[in-house]
Structure formats: structure tokens, C-alpha cells
Amino acid sequence: MTFEGQANMNQLGIVKRHVPRADRAAVEALARHGVATLHEAMGRVGLMKPYMRPIYNPAHVCGTAVTVLLQPGDNWMMHVAAEQIQPGDVVVAAVTADCSDGYFGDLLATSFRARGARGLIIDAGVRDVKELTAMPFPVWSKAISAKGTIKATIGSVNVPIVCAGALVNPGDVVIADDDGVVVVPAAIARQTADAALAREDNETLKREKLAAGVLGLDMYKMREPLEKAGLRYVD
């Protein structure tokens, strides 16, 4: 349980070129599920903070992470990241300090798409949302801002990052939809997809019962534990 990546994480100015991506079949299996289901399937961990919102609705993306560590007000590393994108990737970007500037617009989206990127997750701002919506190029961000950025200070690409409260390693699977963004570590991508599938089968049955008027109180056998917990019914 040592954390080998730590030392490198703390060094700025690194681009890691060869990153093993999560198994492609597992990625596609994960793509069939929503973020809420996957979060449950993983035992309720791995979510980014709920301030990360899609720039348009509905939106959904699933892919392997190319990570970017940016400096405040500076998007130089986004161009460095573009070269590291492989088809099926999702770019995941964090900033070394809180910043709402518009780091990404339609030019970068055009470049990212040409490289095969499926979307962007960024703990900062983006702009050109009308154009991004028209493309469409899905983006989850914490802000929308017309404020541009400079290209003066280096950060890193494909190092472990903390994005909106979640740890993301390059190659991890990132899934985002209207409910938020979840990170599935590459090593457990397959088992998470299997757990999600089992969970969804189970939910279909429950949904039918509930639609027919069965109460969760009865379906989940909650009446006895509620009574034990001290719940009292009064008139």
C-alpha cells in the first residue's frame, strides 16, 4: 500500500508519455451505466464534488483519463496534453489554486477532438459554450468564464492529480453525466462494471414493484428496524 506516485506528483514540469489505459472492454462496459450507479457499485467513493456541472444537458461521457495539472490563469499545459491524447481518452484538468478563468474553448476542443478525445473534465472555467454545445463537445466544469488565460508557466501532464476533491491517476476511467463525475481506478474497472450491471438488473425489478404501489417500507423490510430505532406513529 505504498504510494509510488507521490514523489512524482509533487514535481511540476513532467509529461508522462506512456500511460497504461484501463482495459478497453471494461471502459465500454462502464459506459453503459450512469454515475450514480457506478458510485454505488464502487461502495460510495470516487465522486468529484457536486459543483462540477455539464455545460449542457443531457450529457454523458466515459473514457480513460489524460490528466493535466495547470497553473492559475495559465493554460499552456492544455496544448501539451493534446499531444498525449489517444482515441477514447477524456482529459481531466486540475489547477494548483482555485481559478475560474476560461481555460478551454472551441479551438482547443477542435484540437482535442481531432486527437480522439471524448470530453473534458476541468476544475476551473471554460468558454465558447455555445460553440462547444453545437459541436457537441461535452465538458464538465466549475465555472463558465470568457476570461482567457496566458501561456507562461509549466505544469504537468499524466501525473496523479486531485480534481474537484477526487484523486485521478492517468489511465483511470472517468465517467460523467448529468448527475456528476466519478473516477474508477483502472485496476477495478472490470469488477466495477460487473457490480454496476448486477445493481441495475436489481433496480429494474424494484422499479416495477414501486410503480405498482408497493412501498419501499415493505419491499426493503424496513418496518421492524424503524420500530427498533424508535420511530413512533402518532395521530
- Per CB under 8 A, contacts with a second copy among 10-69 are 10-18, 34-36, 39-40, 42-47, 49-50, 53, 56-58
User: Which of 220, 231, 151, 174 is CA-nearest to residue 60?
Assistant: 174
Q: Which residue lies nearer to a second copy by CB, 5 or 28?
A: 5
Q: According to CB under 8 A, which residues from 205 to 234 bind a second copy?
A: 206-207, 210-213, 215-217, 220, 222, 226, 229-234
Cβ atoms of residues 198 and 86 within 8 Å:
no
Options 28, 147, 194, 198; binder of a second copy; rule CB under 8 A: 147
User: Which of 122, 115, 157, 117 is CA-nearest to residue 139?
Assistant: 122
> Nearest approach, Cβ of 205 to a second copy (angstroms)?
11
Q: According to CB under 8 A, which residues from 98 to 117 bind a second copy?
A: 98-102, 105-108, 110-111, 113-115
Q: Which residue lies nearer to a second copy by CB, 25 or 135?
A: 135
Report the distance separating Cα 71 and Cα 55, nearest Å.
22
Type of residue numbered 114: A
Options 25, 86, 136, 151; binder of a second copy; rule CB under 8 A: 151
> Nearest approach, Cβ of 28 to a second copy (angstroms)?
20
Options 30, 139, 143, 174; binder of a second copy; rule CB under 8 A: 143
Report the distance separating Cα 161 and Cα 119, nearest Å.
17
> Nearest approach, Cβ of 204 to a second copy (angstroms)?
10
Report the distance separating Cα 134 and Cα 130, nearest Å.
6
Type of residue numbered 112: F
In the beta sheet, which residues pair with residue 170? none
Selected range binding a second copy among 22-30, 193-201, 202-210, rule: CB under 8 A? 202-210
> Nearest approach, Cβ of 222 to a second copy (angstroms)?
6
> Nearest approach, Cβ of 44 to a second copy (angstroms)?
6
Options 27, 93, 179, 190; binder of a second copy; rule CB under 8 A: 179
Cβ atoms of residues 90 and 59 within 8 Å:
no
Report the distance separating Cα 124 and Cα 145, nearest Å.
9
The conformation of residue 75, written as its DSSP 8-state character, comes to -
Query: Counting Cβ atoms within 10 Å, is residue 225 exposed (0-12), middle (13-18) or buried (19+)?
Result: exposed
Options 31, 88, 167, 199; binder of a second copy; rule CB under 8 A: 167
- Residue 135 as a binder of a second copy (CB under 8 A): the answer is no
